[in-house]
Structure 1
Amino acid sequence: MSAEAGFGFRRGGIAALRGLWLVPAMIPGLVLFCLTVTFLPLMIIGIGVLVVPVLVVATRSLADLARRRSLAWTGVEIPRPYRPEPEYDRGIPGVVQRCRHVLADPATWRDLLWLIADWVVGLFLSILALGFIAQGVFGLLHPFLWETLVDAGDSGWYTFLKVDSDGRAMLAVLLGIAYIFIGFAIAPAMLKAHAVFTRSLLAPTQKAEMRLRVAQLTVSRTDAVDASAAELRRIERDLHDGAQARLVAMGMNLGAAEALLETNPEAARALLTETREASAKALHELRDLVRGIHPPVLADRGLGDAVRALALESPLHVDVTVDVPGRLEAPVESAGYFAVNEVLTNVAKHAAAQNVWIDVRYRAGRLRIEVTDDGRGGAALEKGTGLRGIERRLGTFDGTLALVSPQGGPTTVTMELPCVLSSPKTSPS
């Protein structure tokens, strides 16, 4: 048997066993369906109002498990279609509001339909391949069993083959081998078909996708406005506390030096020296401020060289790999640059890392930035505002952030931004 054939059998066997596992996995769904349809009529006496939202949450958890399983086993991604949870009042009014919210969500009823439909369509798709394999194994046993079966009153039919002799039993063996091959061959396709069927019920409808998209854009717009306002306040504060204060002091020093120029030249010279130093510091602060708004290296040489400049300034050992065959749009480059800058700052402050690897790539209309460190791990989006800020910054461009950080490390932050190349590359990477 060739390695390719062996891989095919192994893949088919894994798919068949996964299909078998789906059968007991459907049992909790059937229980939830029965409980939900039982308590729905009891809403008129109040009991259902308390119980139905709990059952809906359990159903959604089961549906989320099916989504993750579909992605892990077949690569079929199933987005969540549920409406965002609003703020509820406290006490009984809040319970009633929550019940109304979940029942008004069309995804709730599609989940219920999935629970019961999975026992019909899903069950068939799950066990079809295993049924062929089991039938094939039964065919392999016919040379030893056919006489016993006929003596016990069996008709002797093996699918479409009448087995009433040793010769026919050997034909049953050949037919059984064919069934086994068919079972292993169709198992991955049946598992994929089950995932597609699941997606047809658990994924958002076109109308729901539009509603979720509008909600996401509303949040992104709010985040963008808040981020812009915060950036303006930072610039104003830096100007007021830094360069502006130094420029005011320089004006006062020059006025004092002018008054002392004839009466006390030495004091005037000292004030002019102090003013010159203050002007150098003010210029340095202004350059830092401009660099914080849009670094010159980013404007001149693009994201790759700007990230390399960050790596050189970092106290850690940073390896950078860049594969971006052109210049990106300026807003996307800026978002990617400041996201990498924030991640590197977080690593230096909190990760206790020695080495960092940054991989910047452009593939299929998306900029992908992966930052990995060898620190202690344990990072989480919920633990601080830094990563959440990056996520909000990327969200304004429809970008995403994924974090993998087990205890003990390593930590990997993956950021993706949809974008297009606006010009050919002008600098080496």
Structure 2
Amino acid sequence: MEHITLLIGIVIITALVFDFTNGFHDTANAMATTISTGALRPKTAVAMSAVLNLVGAFLSVEVAKTISGGIVDESGIQPEVIFAGLVGAIVWNLLTWLVGLPSSSSHALYGGLIGATLFSAGSSAVHVDVVMMKVLIPAVAAPLVAGLAAMAATRLTYRLTEKRDERDTAKGYRAGQIASAALVSLAHGTNDAQKTMGVMTLALITGGVLDPDAGPPFWVITSAGVAIALGTYLGGWRIIRTMGKGLTDIQPPQGFSAQTGAATVILASSHLGFGLSTTQVCSGAIMGSGLGRKGGVVRWSTATRMFIAWGLTLPAAGLVAGAAALLAGQGDWGVTAVAVLALAAGFAIWKKSRRQPVDHTNVNTPDIPAQRTSGSEGLQDEPAGVVTAAVQAVSPPPAGPAAAQVSGQATDRSEPAGTSEPADKPADKPADKPANKPADKAAAV
């Protein structure tokens, strides 16, 4: 094996950085509902997910082969092109993490590689048929399949337990949520960790270190698995909070059905070599679970924003990567400039995130601004980030203490300042008037 050059080393390190961002960006896919329902404590949940992502990285290499020898022509590109593609994917991941948007890390990577290749080597270096069959078609089909599977599983689950008291089944379903979340984490490792393996292998092939069509070496598999596990343990708390609000009000039976359906689709796609988006699959499964529960409501306004973000991911990451590729193609100074700009962008995004930090201590707290959500009664205020409360709700919404609390909050919002002690005022007024009136009469006399 030939000596790894400095440029290839930079590409490999950048690929591991992307893998790290992929880990904390996609933690919500497996653990958002589990954390929000209280089935697991936040740090315990992300620790379990990190371990299973690491294990999943060793189970298959089919997706890695798709990326290293399928999407682009490795003979027509140079390592700096792969570097530019990774920069585009990382920047998009960090931007969407900053705003708590559950976009696709997978499509950010695909868009980055395709954009950098188009700008540097032309359209002939992109295998359009592979992109269509193993990226674009699964991107459309997988969320639909996962959604239909979760909807059917949710309806079956509620039918089987319709005569049982909800409190009797809640504990079992919470345990099922933990098991299904573990399965999603394992499936995530078999799919997303391999994408970084494929990029690292592609860099080694373009640099002449590995033969064409070679599979990822063991050290590549290990390092990619460790990087995504560390990112998962860090926890993408902003995106967990967003998915915690969710596309629907998820109860434990729905969470179990959605996660099981999503894990099945992801594992099947990994076996077939389809590099689909786990974010899109899990989101589709959540929407399906919302449609599967009688009286369940899907927040289509939130879903629409996510659909728009998914559509922008490929071109946005591609444009950033294309610009980086043009600059990196100028020589060593261009590669250095791209690296410096990427570090500056990452630091600026991190500094901005510190103004309103979100971590395991406040991921479930409703202290972020309310959203305007379209419901059956029109636009109404929806408290942000409270799946913990929503999990305990049934449809139609209960008219008990929860409704009274909401009514009380509405009264508080409409009450003008300075009226926090209304009981004192009636007492004060009668006390003042009798005392003053006799004095006024005496003065008149």
TM-score w.r.t. the length of structure 1 is: 0.22
Q: Name the larger-Rg structure.
A: 1
Greater relative contact order: 1 or 2 (C-alpha under 8 angstroms, separation 6 or more)?
A: 2
Say which structure is richer in strand. 1
